[in-house]
Chains A and B, each alone.
Chain A
């Protein structure tokens, strides 16, 4: 019987060596290990009929051989599988096919800019405030030291709704609303929509976004203004930008300043974005005019402060090199999905 087993061992080895396909290996497997009629299976089945003294040794040998052949079959399968895959070009998986995509929604670029700016000012301990978009003339003009005959009050600079109501033309309105209900110290920014009846073109829209800032306390100085706005500009535009503070005029601040940064496109050499000047204007700011403090009932001898305004569209356009403000409000998905 042992001889029969070693004969089977040799045969199986020979068969597997000749096998050229996985199918052949399967046939060999059935021939030797098949549940019905497999050579080894039959021998093992027949063990109970053997003389008792042979049962244990034959049983062991038969089981060992079964294990051995199983292993050879697996090995042969492994080798052939590799060969077949390499040769069978019809079944090859094309690794270059693009992946499947889940939809990905984008926040509007203006939202992202506002969020970025809020994040910077939060680090500088500024609160976030909001105010109404439809306002009384008082908050948009009178309280901001804008005289009754100022040109910005005219029809072509402000949308009117009747009964001294208007669409706010600046977020500075929120300064007044916050100071009316809060005592100093104040540190806040107020993002929001503003409206002006500008003729719509690549640079002007009748609705756009501003962020107003205000800091009031005892002893706040122009150098604090420069400090805070320098930190902001470096944080938003990069540490190596150059800044220029130059005198300007706003009715509700004095002294007033406009702040330019070195043009990032031409590195200050001059290009169309910066009108060849090497500078782009990014902020308006100034020390809060004492008349504004008087209006909201702050002691203008005791408190000083600064205010600033940021144009959200302008910063976004500069950051991405967008040349037409209308793109923000057309909401073309081919545009929005780039941000």
Chain B
């Protein structure tokens, strides 16, 4: 809300520079965002939090200033003279929906002279960015800004039958608003109507037909209390915002409704002439819920960590117009003014005292002791995993959980059930919660390729959302997705390195798996013991052309929960062998169908104590090897804990291995 430095002085004689005012307001909770000079004045943009609608008017802000400087608040006089004619003889107000309209007042001023408002008024309202229109409109705006209570002036003679009906709109009823927009109304919208048609959308905007014009002579002045939710809903639905709707939405002061009406009437008489008709129509359905709240000083001081005197607290609250109505040794109780609907508990009073006293006066001290924090296994394993993967040269990415339907295009990984849908997405084509990470990583790869980054080694460790039955929350599965550019075996190697750093005892098993995302040859389900760890593969040609990739990335998506369950965080130490090893290199020829896992398994099944390790070298196909066969090279390392192995001993073991490989897999030494 915009505040004029000079205008504010009408309500409180403060002795603060504009900088001082801005700082004081900010420190009391009314943040001053900007200060702009306007001629010989300043315009302050004040941020008013949603709990403080009382500060949406100059008097409310002045009340804060008066409290800060412990000065006096000057509230203008609203007394005026009337004619003998009674308002009830001229008009009537029928409130048909008293839930949406909880108070409606009307006053009538006759024979006004429409013209420009006086210069001092034009200057004031211009200083906060309002455009002067005519004296009547300017006065209603002036009082709105002064009190925070919106007002509306109708041209009485243009109201059909000269009366007001507050009712819900009929379906598809229309009205042209003051700003020229044509509104199509619905039956959940409250309108102010005359005998025939809507003449204003309650609390939002007046109608063009009945607005005050140069020809206007008689005025019906509306001041009301409309239901905040209803005003907000209608204003959003019609995309119509106004200074009025802004205040009604935040709840106006029920007691100010009449005051503001009197104030405006007095100003109209002073400025535009005319006579006020006697009386007021005041349809008031508001419940009188005066709050009485008590405060214990012991509670206040212990909660804030302060030592503040009772009298100082009383002084602050009295300046804020709370009325002290009883007192005990440790505290007192107060009547809450009607404009402070946000205050109804002791804690609310404590806050009032704290913010005026000043947060800066609360000491920075503590007696909180030490405490042992709980170990967080998830964090430890996450951190170790990221350290290893990053250490291997992969960059961590963070991508959006909200995705489009491209995630379904090449088959799903974790769930066949349809994705969870956002009912109110920003973009209609991105309205799903992701069920896998891989598609997001492909998009990151694509983005980088577009900007000339060719090698994109990346990973993400994050959640995917798997729908459950009915209205249950989804399963939020932590997944680890890695995209590598150095081929299938390099990616598999990275995963193996990670598993070894997590001290996972189970060995990694790869089982061929047909999956639309991956090439038919290099595509596998990864298993650890009896659990499915995830999937790894080289992108299929279709996916590569779909994304227009210039390289052939490999991707793995893993279930991080499996890693969480299997990780052993206790690192142990194995003694380094002191006796020398003996190693033998093998080059064998086998049928294409024989896998390395089978060869290794065959050697392991011999259970030779001295076999320390079996290391794969490479596979060779080519010249000296028959079609349909391949040559596999590997090394077996022999070691004994208690003696140095003799060459002859190892010869025998080597022979045993070759025989076994020959018998069970038809593998022979390469010639």
User: Which residues of A are in contact with B by a Cβ distance under 8 Å?
Assistant: 102-108, 110-111, 115, 118, 122, 125-128, 130, 132-136, 149, 151, 154-156, 159-165, 167, 185, 187, 193, 195, 197, 199-200, 206-207, 215, 217, 219-224, 226-228, 230, 244-249, 254-258, 275-276, 287, 289-290, 304, 328-334, 336-337
Contact = CB atoms under 8 A, between A and B. Distances in A.
B395 A336 contact: yes
B400 A127 contact: no
Contacts of A248: 29, 31, 49
Contacts of B463: 133, 193
B376 A128 contact: yes
A246 B396 contact: no
Contact of B395 (A193, A304, A333): A333
B392 interface: yes
A102 B236 CA distance: 57
**What is the interface of chain A mostly: helix, strand, loop, or mixed?**
mixed
B379 A128 contact: yes
Contacts of A187: 371, 373
Interface stretch (B309-317, B465-473, B621-629): B465-473
B50 A221 contact: no
Interface stretch (B349-357, B573-581, B635-643): B349-357
Contact of A227 (B345, B365, B399, B421): B365
Interface stretch (B81-89, B129-137, B318-326, B451-459): B451-459
Closest 4 CB pairs of A and B: A103-B393, A223-B305, A247-B29, A163-B471
Interface string B386-428: 1001111111111111100000000000000000111111100
Contacts of B456: 333
B331 interface: no
Nearest to B393: A103
B364 interface: yes
B422 A160 contact: yes
A129 to B, nearest CB: 8
B347 A246 contact: no
B458 to A, nearest CB: 7
Nearest to B398: A108
Contacts of A331: 395, 397-399, 444, 447-448, 458
Contact of A247 (B359, B392, B451): B359
B555 to A, nearest CB: 15
B453 A334 contact: yes
A126 B371 CA distance: 8
Given A128-B379, A151-B232, A220-B368, A255 B354 contact: yes
Given A151-B50, A224-B368, A227-B364, A199 B392 contact: no
A332 B457 contact: no
Contacts of B366: 223-224, 227-228
21 contacts: A111-B396, A115-B383, A125-B371, A127-B374, A132-B476, A133-B463, A134-B474, A135-B473, A155-B424, A160-B423, A206-B400, A207-B400, A223-B362, A226-B362, A226-B364, A230-B364, A254-B350, A255-B304, A331-B398, A332-B448, A333-B456
Contacts of A217: 368
A207 B401 contact: yes
Given A127-B374, A133-B463, A249-B52, A337 B362 contact: no
Contacts of B457: 103, 105
B251 to A, nearest CB: 10
A56 B58 CA distance: 123
Given A161-B421, A330-B447, A246 B395 contact: no
